[in-house]
Amino acid sequence: MTTLGASLSGNSTINTSPWDLNWPRFFSGTKCTINGNAVAASGYVTSAQLSIAGTTVNQYTDTGTHKTSLSIADTFDSTHFANNALVTYKMTVQDSGGNSYYLTGQGPTLNKGYGVVNTDGDFNPGIAAAVLGNMINYAQSPSAGDSKATINSNLPNYTAFYIATHGNSTGFGDGSIVGGQSPLPYYQQHFIAYQATSPDIGVTNDITVKAANPNLPPYNLVDIDACNSAGNGAAASTGATSFGINSSDRALLGWNAEEYTSNYAWVARVWNNLALGMTLKDAVNAATSKGRPSGPDANNHPVPINGVILGDSATKLHGVYGGAGLAWHLP
């Protein structure tokens, strides 16, 4: 028996320890959780309600089991709320001794999208803005021609990333790299490696910076729209690992073959589908059903290719993870 009849904890897609989970640093991604614990101050718990932003998302009513304590939880999508919105959650408990009590907590959402398109003339100049336009309730930062230094500086600050550029299985070019063979100094100036290889700090360093800062959430979804960005044939690239794609509700989309820059129509369909609440796998399949992307074979003839998912194919851009469509929470 205790005089405190409710306790609450909230967490995002990463462990926010050592911060007090009753006041999480942020909510980010489609798999955020709230856990509520009810303890009867007298007798047993007769009812309990868990609410998020004023909506009851889960509840308990005693049916004769007379529990003196219990837990109820809910998973929700941070993108149901605008970026940097302060989300309040509340646990209310009633017991058979006539007591009623509640506890509240709150935390901000962090939904931030960054998109870059290469400006060398091979790419649709509007594709980055079109992709980010599907990131509802995100702070959107579409850009064209960003340098390697700018991209490296920006990568720790976002939760979704798209880039259309040249690349290979070891990394991708910046917003102005020209395709084809180039002298090594030029290549080093414009190419962003997945793994740190001197003098390149690599994406791994950017994500290490992100992980070390408790105010910066992990990446939920990354799309490297560049040749061989997800691997070379059967061998997967290190892109997913470099971006911290290491748990559920995180994924990287790319190619494991040479691809044509004209595949932007397919890319746009994928992101349109994600905005409808599809999983990444379903979004890719639905986009492909309306026309497969293509790339050159060894003789430079066009052949069908497939987008490749590294990480969790059930990842969602919008709609609670594991839920149907755009449903925003799941008890």
User: What is the mean predicted confidence (pLDDT) over 166-176?
Assistant: 94
Q: What is the pTM of this model?
A: 0.92
Q: Which amino acid is at 94?
A: Q
Looking at residue 3, its pLDDT comes to 34
Looking at residue 144, its pLDDT comes to 97
CB 170 within 8 A of CB 218: no
* Alpha helix stretches (DSSP H) within 98-178: 127-132, 148-154
User: For the chain, which domains are there?
Assistant: 6-108 (2.60.40), 112-311 (3.40.50)
Tokens of 199: 């003098």
Give the rounded percent of residues in the chain with a pLDDT score beyond 70: 92
| CA dist list (Å): 138 to 41, 142, 288, 317 | 42, 12, 26, 10
Looking at residue 18, its pLDDT comes to 44
CA atoms of 113 and 121, how far apart (whole Å):
24
CA atoms of 190 and 172, how far apart (whole Å):
9
Location of structure tokens 């500086």? 153
Pairing of strands 69-76, 112-117: unpaired
CA atoms of 225 and 218, how far apart (whole Å):
20
CB 60 within 8 A of CB 48: yes
Q: Confidence class of residue 9 from pLDDT cuts 50, 70 and 90?
A: low
CA atoms of 15 and 276, how far apart (whole Å):
28
CA atoms of 218 and 159, how far apart (whole Å):
6
User: What is the mean predicted confidence (pLDDT) over 268-291?
Assistant: 98
pLDDT in tens, 41-72: 899 999 999 999 999 999 999 999 999 999 99
CA atoms of 102 and 285, how far apart (whole Å):
45
The phi, psi pair for 49, rounded to 5°, reads -135, 140
Sign of CA dihedral 317, 19, 141, 155: negative
Task: Identify the top-confidence range among 7-21, 42-56, 191-205, 226-240.
Answer: 42-56
Cis status of the peptide bond prior to 214, with omega within 30 of 0 = no
Looking at residue 199, its pLDDT comes to 64
Pairing of strands 171-173, 167-168: antiparallel
